[in-house]
Structure formats: C-alpha cells, structure tokens
Amino acid sequence: MSLYAFNKKIINNHLIPLFLLIPLAMFSIPTSYSQQIEEIVVTAEKRMASLQETPISISVFSGDDLSNYGITDSEQLSYYTPGLVIQRQVIGKVTMRGVGNENLTIGGDPSVALHLDGTYVARSSVANFDFFDVERIEVLRGPQGTLYGRNATGGAINVISNKPSEESEKILNMSFGNYGSTRLDGAISGPINDTALGRISFLHAERDGYTKNIFPGAADRGLDELDTQDLSALKVQLNIRPSDILTIDLKADLYRDSSNPVAYKYLIWPLPWMEASYAPVPFPNAVHPTDLRTLSEGFEFHIPGSTRTLENAGEWNQDGLSAKITLDLDNGNSFVSHTSFRDIDSMWLNDGDGVDVFLVNYFQKESSEQFTQEIRLSSPDSDDRNWIIGAFYIQEDSETFIGIPLPLGLDLPLNLLIDGEHETTAYAIFGQVTNNINEKLRLHFGARYNHENKKANYIDDRFFVVSQVSGDESWNSFTPRIGVDYFISDESMFYANISKGFKSGGFNLLAVQDAYDPEFVWSYEVGLKRTLKEGRLQTNFSAFYYDYSDMQVGRVENLQSILLNAAGSTIKGAELEILALINDNFRIQANAAYLNTHYDDFVTQDPGSPGVPIKQLAGNELPRSPKLTANVIGIYNVVLENGADLTLNGSYQKQGKQYFTQFNRESVSQDSFNLLNFNAKYKPQNVNWELSFYIHNLTDEDYITDILESGVVTGQTVPQGVFGPPRTYGIKMSFNF
C-alpha cells in the first residue's frame, strides 16, 4: 500500500483539522517583537544537532518544561507527547504509534527502548520512572533500528540528566499536595578540583493512596490504601578531564519504590460467574463497594507447605553503574566507550478476583542483571560527509517466580506456580553515513546487523504436575535505513525515511510453548519541519506507514495465554507539533496525532466468547492505540510592578477511544476523555526562591488507564479496570543557591 493511501474520510475528519492549526497560528503572530524561539539541541542521532535539522519525528522536553507543566513521571509525560500511551504499573506498559508489548515477563522485551544517560534498560521499566534533576527528555517516534537497534520498533525514549556544573550550585524543591503528597528533590553540583566536577541529586516522594481498601485487617498489613507512592532515588555523577582530549563521565544511581500496587476494580457487578455453578467456592455475600475509589481486597498469597508471608504488595528497585569515556582524536574524529551495569528487582502482588474472599491472586517477582558495552567512532560534524560506526553488546541474566494460587473448596490452593531463569546475549555492529550533496540536498545511509541468543530454563508446577521446560534460540537480523533531506530554505526542511525495525523473539513463561520469533516492521515516513515568522513559529509535521510481519501477539490456546507470531498488521498516521510565540509574554504549544491501526490477519481463540471460540480478528484495532491524541498548552509570562516574574500556564489533553485487548470489546475499552491542568509560578525579584501552585485533572475526570479480563476458566470474562489519578493539587517551593 502507498504511503499516501489515506482515504478521503481520514483526510476530511482528521488531517484537515490538524493543518488548519498552522494558518490559524501564523495569522495571529505579529513579527514586530524581538523574541525568537530558542534553538533546541538533541543527541537523537548519537551526535549533537539542532532539533529542526534532525530528520526524525521527535518531541523534546527540557527540565524547565517538566517543571512548568508539572510533569513528574512518565505517565504524565505521555499526555503531552503525540502518539505515546503509558500505563504506569510495577511492570509498565508502553505503546508508541500503536506498537507495544504483550509479554511482560522476563521472556519478553519492550517495544520502546529506554536509555538513561546513554544506558539501554532491557526491562519494561520506563513506565515506572519519576523524573528528577533532568536536563531534557527526547521521545523518538518510529523504528530506530539503525542507531538504537534491538527492541526499538515503536521508538526510543532518552532521559538525559543535568551534568556536573563548573560553578557551585545547590537546588532544592519541596512540594506538598492533597492525598498527603510530599515530594522533596534537589541537587548539589560544582568543581571538586582542577580536573573534576561532581553532582549529587536526590528524590523522595510519598503519597496516600487514591483508592481505599476496606478489607478487614488490611490496615495491619499497610494495605488499607492502594496506588500509594513511597519512593526514594539518588544519582551521583563525576566528570573527569585528565587532558584536553580525554573526558571520563562516571555515574551511579539507585531507585527504591515500595508503593502499594494499583487497584483493579470490577467494572460490572454482580459478576456473571458468582453462582456455585461457575465458581468452585460461591461467594454471594462478597463485598464490592460502588464507589470507584473504594475496594475490599485481601491480597493473600498462600503456597502449600510454606509459611512464607509478604511484607508488602509492591516493590521495584534499580541500581546502575556506568562509565563513559570520550577521546577526541588528532584528526578530529571522536571515540566513545560506554560501559554500564544495571540490576533491577520487582515484585507485584495483585488481588486478581477483586473481592474480599480468597479466590484468585497473582504474584510475580523478577530480578535482572544486565551488562552493556557500546563503542562508537564518529567523524567531525563540520565535514561534508558525516559518519558514525559502532558496536554494541548486552548480557542479561534474569530470574522470575510467578504464582497464581486458586482455591479448591476447603482453602486448598490449586497451584499455578512457575519458577524460571532466562539468559540473553546479543551483539550488533552498526553504521550510518550522511552525505551533504549540496546546500539543499542531504542523503543518509545506515545499517545494523544484530545477533541474539536467548536461553530459558523454568519449572512449571501447575495443577500439581511438575514439568521442566528449557529452550535455546538464536536470531539474526539486518535493519537498514535510507533517508533524504531537502532544505527548501534556511528555515524549512523536508525529509523522507525508509527503515526497518527489529524486536527480539522470546519465550512464553506462562505456557508450555515453543519460543516465538522476532517481529519486523518496515517504516515509511515523510516530514516537514519549518521555522516561520522570523523565528517565532515552528511547525513540525510527519506522516508514516508501517508494514508489520510476524507481529508478536497474545492469544489463548487450551486455556493458556501465550505469545505467537500470528499476525500481520498495518499502522498509518500523521502527527503535527506547533510552537508559536504570540508576543513577548504569551506562547502556545500544541500537538495532535492521528493513528489508524488494524490486524491484516489474526485467527485466535476468544475466551470471552464460548459460543464462537475461534475468531478472525482482521480489521480490529491494535490494543492501546487511540485514533486521536491532542494537547494544547498556553503559557503567559509577565513582570509585575514589584519586579516579580509571574508565569501562568494551562493545558488541555485529549485522548481518543482505545481498546485494551485485540478483541475490541466495548466492555474492555475506554471512551475518549479530556484532562485540564493548571500551573502558576511566582518568582520575586532578586531572590533565590520561587513559589508554584499546580492542579492536575481539574474537572476530576474518571478515566481508565488499563483493563484486564478475568474469569477465563469459566468462559464468562469480566473486565477489571485501573482508574487514572483523580484531581490533585498542591504547592511547590524551589530554592537555587
């Protein structure tokens, strides 16, 4: 299908309204003001370049942006980013342009690559991050198979921390809000001696739960509130410059999160399988409060023959060490070596039945140790031909324990227990060259060769039948990229890219099943980046078409949830981002994304439709892929008569309807919803402090961020939903010494 094969209805209903925003902004901007949009420098292509000259669809958030908008975590970030959907849990779910991940165990890999200060994080941890002491965040949309390699079929997210400063600096931020919210973060930075700089930054955040748990005795176990926050984090950085040509950057970080898990609440009641004819233990008197923010859940986990107890119901810890060595060679080339170690541990206990009797609970514990090494050699940026070559290596060793105990009448659990080990070894070589043909035309050629080996060994102790399953699989892939840039003028650039993305194969740890193969996607994208009105208006537009093969999809076979290469799919869409300086005091940022996704061919069992057990899902939308997302921010800045600086900003976010499973059931979907936020910042003249006020979800909108279906065994599936945060508000004080 052609890249331009958008039908007439799509153009009329979605793309035309996006384009209308451009002339609206253009005609409203005078040209007599002196202020211009500041140039944004990114490292999306492993070298520093202007955002407006980088031929990638990319959203950038500076540290000031995060502060002004009140963005403190990745889920909030997604509402400001076109095409990005994040459900923040112990094991996060990240979808970009309809591309996500359905295997959340150690046997699978994310589809959106996370890089922390250049370090690749192999687990689905991006959805769990709170941001602090951040210089900028780069969100790269679309397959990044050449420079980022494995598991970046959806895109990549780069989090870049503030670096050690040459002058002494002390920063302290304190915020207090409703739900008992307390957040404290800060940094100390400056020179250590003539050749070394250092920086220490920290974060501690606490919050009461958004959901009350009225289960008797829950308070004694600290589980009377769900979806709480209790986390601490630390970053230590050293920048050492032994000579003019050598720079060494060292970093250590840790993250401790013992927040109580999110609450899954039944969206219909009473349940269709509550009678004894369905449930092994009937529970007609089960408590299910009607209030959306109240539950009665036991969170019990019993293992026959074991006295094991759980101290808490959720935990996520991470430790990292990294060393980056940069050597500037005599011929102008630059050599970079980046070495990192990362240790991730997570534990999640969920009351799967959602009521105050012991029926179904789910427990998952994971630990992962990874070592990565990347080396790069790049040419000077000033040459007519720029190039970069490199190699990448990763070794990851993981362990998991998964338990789903079920009662068999007399409080005798029927075990669903899995204990497994997983090992990944992968390496890649890559390169990219950019030829400046003339002042107008630029060509890009890139390629990456990947080799990956995975080994799995786990014990399956389900239904009292113990079996041991092992596997050893290897895959190779070649992911090229071809691109062309044409500079229409000094302020306008058109680009077109063709690239291939690769996502690793893996193992199904929840089913006795062979390994599934990698998935591949061919991406075709065009874009136009423009700076207008004497530097007071920027418009960035992109349109894309994805052709997926061997897509990894979840399906049910013989009452087992597995992942297979069972589907081809097509994804197409368009995105628009606008930044406009209306005058010296007022600016507008807006973005919108249209997304059209569907399976081309996908036959699977439907556990929620016992009358029609086998279904063809061709034409169904991909999960977590709203057709329309949009965001508008208005920022007003004024200097008051007393010299104080006042900044007001309000934002509107819209997220279109989305389905949470491939079956596209209305009961497992979230209708379109809107969010309103407001922030105000007051900074007196000639002082080192400022005061802010924020309110998020101003209208207290009830919306669902994730839905699970339970009751698979009975064939009477019912949805359990996680609600997004309610209205939150508070104040923040910031000091800069």
Q: CB of 59 within 8 A of CB of 577?
A: yes
pLDDT of residue 577: 96
Confidence of residue 11 (pLDDT cuts 50, 70, 90): very low
pLDDT of residue 642: 92
Between 125 and 302, residue with greater pLDDT: 125
pLDDT of residue 621: 94
Q: Is the pLDDT of residue 412 over 50?
A: no
- pLDDT tens profile 528-542: 999 998 889 999 999
User: Is 0.85 topped by the overall pTM?
Assistant: yes
Q: Is the pLDDT of residue 731 over 60?
A: yes
pLDDT of residue 279: 43
pLDDT of residue 470: 80
pLDDT of residue 298: 57
pLDDT of residue 363: 72
Between 299 and 22, residue with greater pLDDT: 299
Q: Is the pLDDT of residue 416 over 80?
A: no
Q: Is the pLDDT of residue 715 over 80?
A: no
Q: Is the pLDDT of residue 445 over 80?
A: yes
Domains of the chain, earliest start first: 8-736 (2.40.170.20)
- Can you tell me whether residue 297 is helix, strand or coil? coil
List Cα–Cα distances, 594 to 6, 541, 544, in angstroms: 11, 12, 10
Handedness of CA 120, 126, 128, 134 (dihedral sign): positive
Q: What is the mean pLDDT of the chain?
A: 83
- pLDDT tens profile 101-111: 876 677 778 88
β-pairing, 246-257 vs 229-240, is antiparallel
Q: Is the pLDDT of residue 166 over 60?
A: yes
Residues whose CB falls within 8 Å of the CB of residue 26, separated by 6 or more in sequence, listed in order: 532, 533, 537
Confidence of residue 4 (pLDDT cuts 50, 70, 90): very low
Q: CB of 99 within 8 A of CB of 140?
A: no
Residue carrying structure tokens 């999960």: 623
pLDDT of residue 582: 93
Residue of 62, 71, 225, 204 lying closest to 728 (CA atoms): 71
Q: Is the pLDDT of residue 179 over 90?
A: yes
Between 2 and 208, residue with greater pLDDT: 208
- pLDDT tens profile 575-587: 999 999 999 899 9
Confidence of residue 716 (pLDDT cuts 50, 70, 90): low
Q: Which two tokens stand for residue 581?
A: 């300086």
Q: Which two tokens stand for residue 145?
A: 């198979």
User: Which string of DSSP letters, residue by residue, matches 381-432?
Assistant: TTSSEEEEEEEEEEEEEEEEEEE--EE-SSS-EE-EEEEEEEEEEEEEEEEE
pLDDT of residue 720: 78
pLDDT of residue 635: 95
pLDDT of residue 168: 95
Q: Is the pLDDT of residue 68 over 60?
A: yes
Q: Is the pLDDT of residue 20 over 60?
A: no
Residue carrying structure tokens 């490199």: 390
E strands in 582-618: 586-601, 603-605, 614-616
Q: Is the pLDDT of residue 300 over 60?
A: no
Q: Is the pLDDT of residue 388 over 70?
A: yes
List Cα–Cα distances, 737 to 183, 189, 643, in angstroms: 19, 11, 20
Q: How far apart are CA 442 and CA 91, in angstroms?
A: 41
Q: What is the mean pLDDT of residues 9-29?
A: 46
Q: Is the pLDDT of residue 660 over 70?
A: yes
Between 77 and 312, residue with greater pLDDT: 77
Angle (nearest 5°) at CA 629 between 626 and 633: 160
Q: How far apart are CA 43 and CA 142, in angstroms?
A: 16
Q: Is the pLDDT of residue 357 over 70?
A: no
pLDDT of residue 572: 96
Between 7 and 580, residue with greater pLDDT: 580
Between 582 and 346, residue with greater pLDDT: 582
Through-space distance between the first and last CA atoms of the chain, rounded to whole angstroms: 58
The DSSP symbol for 22 reads H
